[in-house]
Amino acid sequence: MKTPIESILQQISFDLSLARGLDYYTGLIYEAIVEASAPPGLKAAESLDPAPPTPAAAPKKKSKKSGPDEDEEIDESQVGVGSIAAGGRYDDLVAMFTAAASGDGKKVAGLPCVGVSIGLDRIFALLWPKWIERGMRSKEVFAYVLSAGDGLLPERMGLVEELRAQGIAADFLAKNKPKLNAQFAAGERDEVPYAIILGGDELKAGLVTVKEQRWEFVDGKKTKVESTDKGTQVPRAELVQWLKATTTFKEWSSGRLIRQ
């Protein structure tokens, strides 16, 4: 059984060629990578573990030299997104700001500091494809409120406000009299599972139309399932209870949009 230190050493590579922020780092620097963020040829960093590492495949290079001073063209397929976190020691950096704040121009002794920053954009870039592959949704909106015929802007706004107050994420197209197709398109961009359609006559009768929308994977892409279903008429006063009773709402916290 490996000790905690031995397990940690397997995840660390000591690289004297690593360079960052030469104008303010004063000591040790470090970068964190994962297998998905490293170049494809680098499956695992060379660790301090005594066991010899498996040699990584040499990255392909495209030679495009027309003269002695021309650089080789980089094969972008062999380049990952890079480090997902990095930092180091910068004893003089904070002292520089404290000296400026003091205003007396005197040199302030260095303050020992060490820090690290996390690249959220790079982390999301790695996680997003995996999230989509699992059939997960892209946004929290559960119901999109539309109007057929007249704009019914106050009615749409009132229903969205009511749904949100009841814990149902809802949205609408903020236009006075939007076209029905434009409203459906806006909801589909957010992959909203339920479209709630308001009509003047239906509202007078105390009804709304709810249409369920589903997505599936076609050739690796998420596509809306076309349906001829015109929707279900639900009493306006019972809409919240009807939505919360659906299987989709009960599974909403899982983040999944496509049922396996």
Q: Is residue 138 part of a domain?
A: no
Q: If you average pLDDT over residues 49-59, what whole number do you get?
A: 45
Q: For residues 225 and 182, state if they share a domain.
A: yes
Q: For residues 101 and 177, state if they share a domain.
A: no
> What is the layout of strands, in order, in the sheet containing 114-118?
29-32, 85-89, 114-118
Q: For residues 38 and 103, state if they share a domain.
A: yes
How many folded domains does the chain comprise?
Answer: 2
Q: For residues 224 and 247, state if they share a domain.
A: yes
Q: For residues 147 and 126, state if they share a domain.
A: no
Q: For residues 148 and 107, state if they share a domain.
A: no
Of 13-22, 37-46, 131-140, 169-178, the one with minimum mean pLDDT is 37-46
Residue 215, domain CATH: 3.40.50.800
Domain that holds residue 175: 143-254
Residue 47's pLDDT band, with cuts at 50, 70 and 90, is very low
Last residue of a domain, one of 133, 151, 173: 133
Q: Is residue 67 part of a domain?
A: no
Give the predicted TM-score (pTM) of the model.
0.53
Distance of alpha carbon 55 from alpha carbon 41, whole angstroms: 10
What does the H/E/C string look like for the chain? CCCHHHHHHCCCCCCCCCCCCCCCCCCCEEEECCCCCCCCCCCCCCCCCCCCCCCCCCCCEECCCCCCCCCCEECHHHCCCCCCEEEEECHHHHHHHHHHHHCCCCCCCCCCCEEEEECHHHHHHHHHHHHHHCCECCCCCCEEEEECCCCCHHHHHHHHHHHHHCCCCEEECCCCCCCHHHHHHHHHHCCCCEEEEECHHHHHCCEEEEEECCEEEECCEEEECCCCCCCEEEEHHHHHHHHHCCHHHHCHHHCECCCC
pLDDT at 16: 83
Distance of alpha carbon 141 from alpha carbon 75, whole angstroms: 41
Q: For residues 11 and 127, state if they share a domain.
A: yes
Q: For residues 99 and 48, state if they share a domain.
A: yes
Q: For residues 170 and 121, state if they share a domain.
A: no
pLDDT at 138: 65
Last residue of a domain, one of 91, 108, 133: 133
pLDDT at 26: 87
Residue 46's pLDDT band, with cuts at 50, 70 and 90, is very low
Q: For residues 124 and 189, state if they share a domain.
A: no
Last residue of a domain, one of 95, 111, 133: 133
Q: Which of 88, 142, 171 is nearest to 255 (CA)?
A: 142
Q: Is residue 246 part of a domain?
A: yes
Q: For residues 149 and 102, state if they share a domain.
A: no
Q: For residues 122 and 208, state if they share a domain.
A: no
